């Protein structure tokens, strides 16, 4: 099987430049942050998952059994520190016994023996979440560009890179940024599977495997995000599969079983803590417009709010804007914006941002193909410039 050629032309270079600017914003904020108690909690319990799954009898970690809280963020934050410790202990074997960091020279002792030798902890703890945010930005650009062309892709990506809420989520350990990454990938992977089902079956398996992985990792981040993604994936696949609709449920059942295995693996295949996935209440939710009203009324998001309002008006009034590419992210946005969790502290509104920006990018790309192109070029430029200036001015506040 031939591997696809990777092209890195001018569009890819410009997208990489935007993501590099986003990385610079995040690193600037992290460099001015102080490690908080929450940071230490994620680092400690994440390391326990990798190095010693059962520090207390009857509990998964010293954080307890993570009632309603996904394991993904803990494992992501703890992995770099665990890897650094393994490197330190590996290098320790080449030192003289009296100079060793760890007296026994093995990994059988306490996980905290080398804790004072770990360095760059703040960056190691935060960089994985920045990486996932950048990964999502690349996925957002790729999806929007394929659907709407270069103009729609770059408009959506630029708004993403200079959205203060995205930067805030990326520079702190949390499951929301991972759920946002997983849910967006899950939905568009499901749409890709539905399109692939129109072709030969040999092309189904890689996409179904990717769908299973996306569903499983989303579930490890937040169970509610996985459930929403599963239901909406079924609807989009059923709509797009047409003559292959009889296979949709089979594909999703297979993916769900695989996702449960991935979720169980995140608990080190221990059934006792895994049972809290079903009893911890992480999937309990209700509806409220307060988070959405706060987001759209905030000065920090004013340009995005203006772009969203214009896009909604154009979608309702202009027929050429009403097609599946714009409708799917709009529906996802409208479903996610009013969601609130009742048993866990999380922000489903964050999950809606990539879908909202995809919708905005699609509608503005359509508007730029009309006779009013010059008007919308000016509006697009003004929105991007204003959003960029606001985001950069708010970076010192995000570091607090």
107 within some domain: yes
* Mean pLDDT of the 222-243 span: 94
Give yes or no for residue 120 having a pLDDT over 60: yes
Q: How far apart are CA 231 and CA 187, in angstroms?
A: 10
Highest mean pLDDT among 108-112, 246-250, 274-278: 246-250
Per the CB < 8 A criterion, the answer to whether 67 and 281 are in contact is yes
pLDDT score for 111: 47
Distance CA 240, CA 248 (A): 10
97 inside domain: yes
Q: Per-residue pLDDT tens for 195-226?
A: 988 888 888 888 999 999 999 999 999 999 99
Per-residue b/e over 221-234, b at no fewer than 16 CB within 10 Å? bbbbbbbbbbebbe
| Residue-wise pLDDT tens digits, 87-106 | 877 777 777 666 666 555 44
Say if 362 falls within a structural domain.
Answer: no
In a domain, 171, yes or no: no
With 50 as the cut, is the pLDDT of residue 110 above it? no
Mean pLDDT throughout 2-17?
A: 79
Indicate whether 49 belongs to any domain: yes
Q: What is the pLDDT of residue 94?
A: 72
Q: Is 128:169 a contact under the CB 8 Å cutoff?
A: no
- Which of these, 307, 220, 231, lies nearest to 266 by C-alpha position? 220
Q: Is the pLDDT of residue 108 over 60?
A: no
How many domains does the structure of the chain reveal?
1
Q: Report the candidate in 304, 18, 276 with the shortest Cα–Cα distance to residue 138.
A: 18
Tell me if 42 is assigned to some domain: yes
Residues 80-97 as b or e (16 or more Cβ within 10 Å = b): bbbebbeebbeebeeeee
pLDDT of the residue at 390: 97
**Residue 270 confidence (pLDDT):** 85
Kindly state the average pLDDT of the residues 106-122.
57
Note whether residue 69 is domain-resident: yes
CB atoms within 10 A of CB 242: 10
In terms of residue numbers, what domain contains 41?
37-119
Q: Which residues contact 288 (CB under 8 A, 6 or more apart)?
A: 338, 340
């Amino acid at each position: 099987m031939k591997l696809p050629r990777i092209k890195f032309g001018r569009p890819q270079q410009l997208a990489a430049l935007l993501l590099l600017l986003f990385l610079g914003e995040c690193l600037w904020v992290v460099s001015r942050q102080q490690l908080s108690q929450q940071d230490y909690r994620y680092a400690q319990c994440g390391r326990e998952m990798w190095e010693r799954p059962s520090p207390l009898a009857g509990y998964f970690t010293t954080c307890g059994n993570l009632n309603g809280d996904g394991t993904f963020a803990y494992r992501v934050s703890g992995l770099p520190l665990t890897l650094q410790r393994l490197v330190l202990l590996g290098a320790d074997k080449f030192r003289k016994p009296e100079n060793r960091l760890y007296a026994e020279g093995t990994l059988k002792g306490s996980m905290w023996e080398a804790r004072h030798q770990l360095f760059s902890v703040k960056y190691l703890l935060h960089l994985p979440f920045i990486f996932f945010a950048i990964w999502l930005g690349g996925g957002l650009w790729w999806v929007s560009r394929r659907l709407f062309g270069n103009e729609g892709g770059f408009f959506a990506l630029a708004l993403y890179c200079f959205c203060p809420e995205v930067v805030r989520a990326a520079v702190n350990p949390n499951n929301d940024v991972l759920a946002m990454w997983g849910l967006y990938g899950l939905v568009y992977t499901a749409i890709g599977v539905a399109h692939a089902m129109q072709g030969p079956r040999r092309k189904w398996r890689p996409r179904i495997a990717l769908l299973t992985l996306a569903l499983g990792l989303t579930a490890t981040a937040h169970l509610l995000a996985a459930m929403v993604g599963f239901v909406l994936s079924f609807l989009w696949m059923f709509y797009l599969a047409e003559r292959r609709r009889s296979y949709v449920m089979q594909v999703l059942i297979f993916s769900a079983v695989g996702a449960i295995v991935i979720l169980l693996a995140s608990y080190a295949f221990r059934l006792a803590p895994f049972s809290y996935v079903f009893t911890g209440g992480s999937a309990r939710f209700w509806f409220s417009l307060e988070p959405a009203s706060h987001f759209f009324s905030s000065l920090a998001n004013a340009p995005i709010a203006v772009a969203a309002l214009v896009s909604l008006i154009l979608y309702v009034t202009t027929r050429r804007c009403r097609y599946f590419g714009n409708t799917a992210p709009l529906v996802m946005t409208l479903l996610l914006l009013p969601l609130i969790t009742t048993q866990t502290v999380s922000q489903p509104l964050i999950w809606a941002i990539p879908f909202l920006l995809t919708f905005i990018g699609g509608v503005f790309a359509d508007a730029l193909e009309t006779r009013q192109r010059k008007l919308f070029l000016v509006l697009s430029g003004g929105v991007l410039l204003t959003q960029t200036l606001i985001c950069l001015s708010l970076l010192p506040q995000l570091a607090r």
